[in-house]
Chain A
Amino acid sequence: MSRSTRGLLFAVVGAASAGLLSLAAPLSGLAADAQKIPEGATIGPDVEAVEISLAYRPDPDPKRAGYYGFGEPATDEMIAGWDIDVRPDGKGLPPGSGSVEDGEVIYEEKCAACHGVFGEGEGRWPKLAGGFGTLTEDRPEKTVGSYWPYVSTLWDYVHRAMPFYEPQSLSNDEVYAIVAYVLFLNDIVEDDFVASRESLAAIEMPNKDGFFVDPRPDVKNAACMEGCKDPSDIRITWDSTELGVTPVEHFKAEEQAEVAVDPNLGLNIYQQACATCHKGGLAGAPIVGDTGQWGARVAQGFDVLVEHAVNGYQGSAGYMPPKGGQIQLSDDEVAAAVRYMVDNSTD
């Protein structure tokens, strides 16, 4: 940092401190001018600093790789392994293909537990299908079919981030098949559709023209200071305490007891921590509601099940991670979720 910049920074801090000190002045009738930003404080040190760093740059040397020459060249092979993005023009789509028929099998195994058999979405997991014509309605349903502008996004996202519990595990053919099936669930293709680089190029999504570039600032408020509205017009339209849907026990002690006896605790914890696997049977998890799968387990005794759920368990069918991987849960919360699952899986 140059000497002159150092001086500038000092001046900024000095001005800010002066502003603070003046707070100790008599408090009544704070004059408008006393509220102004101190003159020097509007100069941030950061923009200067960016320029200083650029000033260090040596002259370009055509014989070197870049100005600094740090790092290694990224080879075509390295890039090929990491460059997974796909654009609306199809750039990035690899060879391969998958049919609606194949997609249905894979979808039901790997996707339906969260997204629903028909793409309707389980719990708060994303709904994938339907919702056409709802974008102007009171509760719009933004699905792949009703909202997404490009099919490339579907291929890209399924490939990079799905399934949720095992991202980047699908082959290209499997991704094509799932894409085909999700398009089918949205009535965008027929049941004999086979997705490939070529066939996807012809897909036009229903909402492709539904987006426009941000026009903000879009509202203009005035900095009115006095008599800005008629006091008698003011009505309280919403009071957050009437809903009672947010945690408040950390500052409203008297409501703690209410939370402690929450009758839905087991259900809530189940949905938060267990349903990912136990709803659809992922990783060998016994499916809630399947009395056959739960019978032998329940026979071991409730405490054993809770012990397994809390501390983790390697069974013959699969692995139960401690607390379903959600170690922030208390043992009591896990027990409540186990109770919920057992109650809903026994005759």
Chain B
Amino acid sequence: MSKPRPDRAAEVLGKVAEAAGKVPLQDRRDFLMRGLALAGTAVAGPALAAADEESFLPPNVPPWTRSLGRGVVTVPYGMPSGFEENVIRRTVPWLTASNISSISFTPLPELKGIITPNGLVFERYHAGVPDIDPGKHRLMIHGMVKRPLVLTMEDLMRFPSVSVIRFIECPANGGMEWRGAQMEALQFTHGMLSCCEWTGVPLSVLLEEVGLQKGAAWVLAEGADGAAMTRSIPLEKALDDTLVVYAQNGEALRPEQGYPVRLLNPGWEGNTSVKWLRRLEVGDEAWYQREETSKYTDLMPDGRARKFTFVQETNSVITFPCPEKPLAAKGRYEIEGLAWSGRGRIRRVDVSLDGGVNWQPARLKGLVLPKALTRFSFMWDWDGSPALLQSRAMDETGYVQPNLTQLRAVRGVESIYHKNAIHTWRLAESGEVTNVQID
């Protein structure tokens, strides 16, 4: 067999490589940069930019259609388009003393459906994100059990797994607004919120595996991070729907979300879903740890405080329009939003356009799952007049999302956590949207 002629193949491959070198994305970016640089500086700028822009539009054929794109595994772990660089978590620096013990917010205005992409799930750490080697991580289960155990990640993953879609919300979500509206963006008013498909083992399976002793009533969950975060979980919850999860939206947990393993207490305040889980201790009493005394207790006007305020009650917010996504001009719009309840499924969502005088039912879109984000939709022909937009959710227990006046009447303004009030967006004639509070 004679040697194949390499020159022809090499020639073709060379052309392919050359063509692929003309990366259309870069063309587009260069164009944008030029457009931005010119806009407002030279008189000829806008005209030139417009001409340039037209070269991409029909009847012209844009460069990315006349060239090759990137090959496989150029980006082995796929990332969003560079044009989506605005879709990121953000923080409000003055909220906390250090970004090691702080919070960032999910960009809710940019999200579709009910699933939060892993890289956009809000962050909350008390001592930063640890880099944990899963091979060296252990989960210990002990206390009032018959057979105390130490599990490797491999051991844990041998148990039959379940996957559920559940929201996680920090109980301080919206907590900056008890006294008044001060966050100017949806990302900051409601962004301590996420919803993922979580995969792991029911805690009940693990507790049956170790065997509970008589009198067991609480489980202490502890993290392996520098805060060694702890929460006491009533056994009733632990045996109901608490999970020990190691995967999120189909892949391993992100380090920010507790890699390699975390607790998930569906419907309960996010702080109880202890990340980087290293230990579960069974006992007959609660431990009254720092995160269930000094923090995550709700101070009432009489100076006493509620403890073990676990449930995230029914809440909702309109995500379009919102301050980040104003309306461009009058016309037909699909008003959208998210509703969720820590007690079960959302039964219904109503929308008001006049600050709560009149309400109309919205449509629930897609899956309506218990303790998960539920998307609602409301078609509206906006005539260009100012409006006060609100949403009001009801869950399957019949509980109706309250307004802020009702919450303040009972709780005052110093309880920080669990503000689930009806939210108001003021829509101006310009289409601009502002976070306001109304009487």
Contact flag A67-B355 (CB < 8 Å), given A83-B281, A149-B293: no
Interfacial residues of chain A within 51-106, with CB under 8 A of chain B in the complex = 52-54, 56-57, 65-68, 70-74, 78-79, 82-89
Q: Which residues on B sit within 8 Å (CB–CB) of A124?
A: 94, 96-97
Interface centre among A78, A125, A144, A164 (most CB of B within 10 A): A164
- B183 pairs with A246, CB closer than 8 A: yes
Q: Which residues on A sit within 8 Å (CB–CB) of B132?
A: none
Contact of B149 among A71, A230, A245 (CB under 8 A): A71
CB proximity of A275 to chain B, nearest CB, Å? 8
The dominant DSSP class at the A interface is loop
Interface centre among A168, A245, A325 (most CB of B within 10 A): A245
Q: Which residues on B sit within 8 Å (CB–CB) of A235?
A: 438-439
- A46 pairs with B150, CB closer than 8 A: no
CB proximity of B38 to chain A, nearest CB, Å? 16
CB proximity of A330 to chain B, nearest CB, Å? 13
- A140 pairs with B414, CB closer than 8 A: yes
Q: Which residues on B sit within 8 Å (CB–CB) of A32?
A: 361
Contact of B127 among A67, A88, A161 (CB under 8 A): A161
CB proximity of A264 to chain B, nearest CB, Å? 10
Of the stretches A180-188, A209-217, A334-342, the one at the interface is: A209-217
Q: How many residues of B are counted as interface, with CB atoms below 8 angstroms from the partner's CB atoms?
A: 131
A312 at the interface (CB under 8 A from B): no
Q: Which residues on A sit within 8 Å (CB–CB) of B188?
A: 246
Chain B: CB-nearest residue to A251: B324
Q: Contact string, A23-42, partner B, CB cutoff 8 A, digits 1/0?
A: 10001001010111100011
Interfacial residues of chain B within 13-27, with CB under 8 A of chain A in the complex = none
Interfacial residues of chain A within 198-254, with CB under 8 A of chain B in the complex = 210-231, 233-241, 243-248, 250-251
- A248 pairs with B149, CB closer than 8 A: no
Q: Which residues on B sit within 8 Å (CB–CB) of A227?
A: 357-358
B220 at the interface (CB under 8 A from A): yes
- B365 pairs with A210, CB closer than 8 A: no
Q: Which residues on B sit within 8 Å (CB–CB) of A326?
A: 99
Interfacial residues of chain B within 164-205, with CB under 8 A of chain A in the complex = 164-165, 180-185, 188, 201-202, 204-205
CB proximity of B123 to chain A, nearest CB, Å? 12
Of the stretches B55-63, B64-72, B402-410, the one at the interface is: B402-410
- A35 pairs with B290, CB closer than 8 A: no
Interface centre among A20, A82, A89, A144 (most CB of B within 10 A): A82
Q: Contact string, B210-233, partner A, CB cutoff 8 A, digits 1/0?
A: 110000000010100011101000
State A15–B290 Cα separation when bound (angstroms): 46
State A16–B435 Cα separation when bound (angstroms): 32
Q: Which residues on A sit within 8 Å (CB–CB) of B228?
A: 84, 160-161, 167-168
Contact flag A57-B205 (CB < 8 Å), given A32-B361, A73-B150, A221-B403: yes
- A16 pairs with B366, CB closer than 8 A: yes
A44 at the interface (CB under 8 A from B): yes
A157 at the interface (CB under 8 A from B): yes
User: What is the interface residue range for chain A against chain B?
Assistant: 35 or more
Q: Which residues on B sit within 8 Å (CB–CB) of A67?
A: 208-209
- A35 pairs with B363, CB closer than 8 A: yes
Q: Which residues on A sit within 8 Å (CB–CB) of B363?
A: 19, 23, 30, 34-35
Interfacial residues of chain A within 127-157, with CB under 8 A of chain B in the complex = 135-136, 140, 142, 144, 147-150, 152-153, 156-157
State A46–B436 Cα separation when bound (angstroms): 38
- B439 pairs with A233, CB closer than 8 A: yes
- B150 pairs with A125, CB closer than 8 A: no
State A273–B233 Cα separation when bound (angstroms): 34
- A136 pairs with B438, CB closer than 8 A: no
State A82–B139 Cα separation when bound (angstroms): 11
Q: Which residues on B sit within 8 Å (CB–CB) of A283?
A: none
Interface centre among A32, A52, A219, A328 (most CB of B within 10 A): A219
For chains A and B in complex, what number of residue pairs have CB atoms within 8 angstroms?
338
A256 at the interface (CB under 8 A from B): no
Chain A: CB-nearest residue to B141: A74
Q: Which residues on B sit within 8 Å (CB–CB) of A217?
A: 313, 399
CB proximity of A185 to chain B, nearest CB, Å? 16
Contact flag A82-B359 (CB < 8 Å), given A41-B368, A70-B151, A223-B350: no
A50 at the interface (CB under 8 A from B): yes
- B160 pairs with A53, CB closer than 8 A: yes
Interfacial residues of chain B within 62-112, with CB under 8 A of chain A in the complex = 86, 90, 92-94, 96-101
CB proximity of A40 to chain B, nearest CB, Å? 10
Chain A: CB-nearest residue to B151: A71
- B411 pairs with A237, CB closer than 8 A: no
Contact of B99 among A53, A210, A220, A272 (CB under 8 A): A272
Contact of A234 among B283, B313, B439 (CB under 8 A): B439
- A41 pairs with B367, CB closer than 8 A: yes
A11 at the interface (CB under 8 A from B): no
Q: Which residues on B sit within 8 Å (CB–CB) of A236?
A: 426, 436-438
- B434 pairs with A240, CB closer than 8 A: yes
Q: Which residues on B sit within 8 Å (CB–CB) of A41?
A: 364, 367-368
State A219–B412 Cα separation when bound (angstroms): 13
Q: Which residues on B sit within 8 Å (CB–CB) of A291?
A: none
Contact flag A240-B183 (CB < 8 Å), given A42-B368, A73-B148, A247-B90: yes
- A210 pairs with B281, CB closer than 8 A: no
- A153 pairs with B358, CB closer than 8 A: no
Contact of A250 among B90, B182, B378 (CB under 8 A): B90
- A250 pairs with B148, CB closer than 8 A: no
Query: What are the nearest 7 A-B pairs in CB distance?
Result: A238-B180, A135-B303, A74-B148, A46-B164, A35-B361, A124-B97, A66-B209
Q: Can you report 12 A-B residue pairs in the complex whose CB atoms are below 8 A from each other?
A: A27-B332, A44-B164, A44-B369, A65-B147, A164-B101, A213-B306, A219-B410, A221-B392, A228-B359, A234-B438, A238-B181, A245-B92
A210-B305, A237-B437, A237-B438 known; 16 new pairs, CB 8 Å cut-off, are: A35-B348, A35-B362, A53-B202, A66-B211, A114-B97, A123-B97, A135-B303, A164-B98, A219-B406, A220-B406, A227-B357, A230-B357, A231-B355, A241-B184, A246-B92, A248-B185
